Amino acid sequence: MKKKIFSIILARGGSKGIKNKNLIKFNRKPLIYWTIKQSLISKNIDEVWVSSDSKKILSYAKKVGAKTLLRPTKFSKDDSTSESAWTHAINNIENIDIKKDLVIAPQLTSPLRSNADFDKAINLFIKKKSDSLFSGFFFETFFNWKYLTKKITPNYDLKKRRRRQNLSKSIIENGSFYIFKINGFLKNQNRLFGEISCYIMPKAKSFQIDEKEDLKFLNILSSNDKNLK
């Protein structure tokens, strides 16, 4: 049997920045809708699961087309890790083969994706024979300053200010999604391990919704996005 790919979407009921964030309206639909839809549209994803401690969220997720898993409170606290919630889900989805199957773990707070991003990233993962993958974007290392105990110090030589064209590039994790082999994940209890790849996304698709200001900003960005219609 060929390996299967499971989208496991974590959707906790509580949220610090925005109350009931996962069900708040974004672009006229609950925020969780967009990640479920993108997973269901994917040609490479075999099953879409939503793990939550909220029966309201699970009811909506089931209505949209996802399979659902009730997550215990001990894996849904403010200090609970995503790794613990993914482990719970993996251990409770009956038809997962932990020896060969893959998980794609999309984050609900990053709805500005192309509908093809998941498939392109999965293809890259397989092509590079990766163990794990993160999504990210290129970031030019500008003139950064350190802020420590109310004192600022430069992270570059003030007397040798380089031109923008000569600045080095870094890759920033944008938190949009991760992909990992299940057996390696369970062994390492970490989303990134072994041979790590990166799927590069545009900076404009890398913004996250954590605060109310983010929600307003991303609603503006999404107004002309054909993937969010």
**Got the DSSP string for 22-36?**
GGSEETTEEHHHHHH
Q: Supply the mean pLDDT for the chain.
A: 90
Burial class (CB in 10 A: 0-12, 13-18, 19+), 44: middle
Domain residue limits, the chain: 5-228
Q: What is the mean pLDDT of residues 14-42?
A: 87
Per-residue confidence (pLDDT) for residue 119, from 0 to 100: 97
Per-residue confidence (pLDDT) for residue 19, from 0 to 100: 72
pLDDT tens per residue across span 189-206: 999 999 999 999 998 889
Q: What is the mean pLDDT of residues 19-35?
A: 88
Per-residue confidence (pLDDT) for residue 204, from 0 to 100: 85
Catalytic residue among 12, 113, 161, 163: 161
Query: Which has the minimum average pLDDT: 48-62, 118-132, 157-171, 211-225?
Result: 211-225
Burial class (CB in 10 A: 0-12, 13-18, 19+), 98: middle
Our answer to whether residue 12 is catalytic in this structure is: no
Query: Which has the minimum average pLDDT: 29-43, 45-59, 83-97, 151-165?
Result: 151-165
Q: Yes or no: say if 197 and 144 are a contact pair by the CB < 8 Å rule.
A: no
Which CATH architecture does the domain made up of 5-228 adopt? Answer: Alpha-Beta Complex (3.90)
Which one has a higher pLDDT value, 123 or 213?
A: 123
pLDDT tens per residue across span 116-158: 999 999 999 999 999 999 999 998 777 788 888 889 998 888 8
pTM: 0.89
